Amino acid sequence: MRDTRPGPKDAYELILKAIDIGDYRPGDRLVESELAERFGMSRTPIREALQRLETQSILRRDGRSLIVASLDHNQLAELYVVRGELEGLAAALAARHATAEEVRVLRDLVAQDRAHVGDPEALARANRRFHKQLHLASHNRYLVQQLELVHRTMALLATTSLAAEGRSAAALDEHARIVEAIAAGDPEAARAALRTHISRAFETRLKLDATGAEGA
């Protein structure tokens, strides 16, 4: 009989999703037995998944415990540099290789996402969906894999930059400019629009962090 029990990959994806949606925030402790009970599986796949997440620096050791990692200022800056370069490349490749159907989907996502202005959490989910679709439109599997790792690390940020006043509408306008450059088949314009988008998101996050530090 075929074994249909959840395996290590399933446990990994389940824990990662829980971090991504904010069930576990930076600094939260992950307990093997509690996770096994939550996801209805044995502790072995949970243990293997936790080890994998620690290797990827999504989790870190705090004494004998594993906690969700957080990013310091330098790590945040490094992450946004890599994200800007990789996503800029994805946008440039999408301008060369995206199909007419993919461009229409990207346009539709921007239009639909405007309904979420004022709801940062919903817009953050929509934002991830948009960027994932853009990555796929690059038609480069190795780039998509690297961007998946970058966006998993983004889950370690406790708040979304889209929560800043005025940022959500501006971000959607930036998305629209990226899509139009892709639709026009202009790789350099697409790359520039995407990198501007990431730069403004990083600037907004720095301002949010500075405000939070002042209020601490």
Q: What is the sign, positive or negative, of the torsion defined by CA atoms of 60, 122, 173, 166?
A: negative
φ/ψ of 78, rounded to 5, equals -60, -40
For the 73-215 domain, the top CATH level (class) is: mainly alpha
CATH number of 8-68: 1.10.10.10
Residues 14 and 81: their CA atoms lie apart, in Å, by: 28
Q: What is the pLDDT along the chain (216 residues), one digit of tens a residue?
A: 334 444 445 899 899 888 877 788 888 999 999 999 999 999 999 999 999 999 988 999 988 889 999 888 898 899 999 999 999 999 999 999 999 999 999 999 999 999 998 888 888 889 999 999 999 999 999 999 999 989 888 878 766 777 777 788 999 999 999 999 999 999 999 999 999 999 999 999 888 877 764 333
Only one residue has tokens 């946008």, namely 91
Q: How far is Cα 169 from Cα 148, in angstroms, rounded to an integer?
A: 25
Q: Domain-by-domain residue ranges, the chain?
A: 8-68, 73-215
